[in-house]
Amino acid sequence: MAWDTEMIEILRVLVNDMGDTPSYSNERLRRVLVVAALQVSGELSFSHDFKVKIEQPSIIPDPTDEEGGSRDESFINLCCLKAACIIDRGAAILAAKQAIAIKDGSSAIDLRGNLQGKLKLLEKGWCAVYEDAKIEYLTSHSGGIAGAAVMTPFRLYARGGYTHSNLFGTERSRDIYL
């Protein structure tokens, strides 16, 4: 399965665009995914060096290719979450343009509530989920001792850091300050 097939399906589920007549075309979602992949690959490092081309939407190597050995679940998930965030921001911008209140005599139309809902969605929606997933990815792949900052309020090994040879049989030395 090519990246644009699998990742578009994931993105459709995330943004609830699975009806008989979807709001977003496959081409539009493909372009959003490529922009998200470019941003994600700029923020994080992965086991493969994914090349992203915007003008002819492509991601090479294919992050969904199991046979080719380039499948990267973290990259797929983070790109889809970032793409959902981009779509949420676009919806919030559209809602901001339409946030009006009109009163004429006894009748009134107030569309400002829609904007407030979209702003809350941005605050606690896919953008927040992406940031949480990014932090989780960074902490689980940082090469240090995951969770060290949570374990103690004190600086670990206060006199010059710890030596990995004591822990992992390597010679690297690091200071960890909390």
pTM above 0.85, yes or no: no
Residue type, 25: S
The DSSP secondary-structure symbol of 47 reads S
**Of 144, 136, 92, which Cα lies nearest the Cα of 118?**
92
Distance CA 101, CA 92 (A): 17
pLDDT per position as a tens digit, 39-65: 999 999 888 999 999 998 999 999 999
Distance CA 28, CA 4 (A): 11
- Of the chain, the percentage scoring pLDDT greater than 70 comes to 64
148 Cα distance to chain centroid: 25
pLDDT per position as a tens digit, 72-109: 999 999 999 999 999 988 776 666 666 566 777 787 77
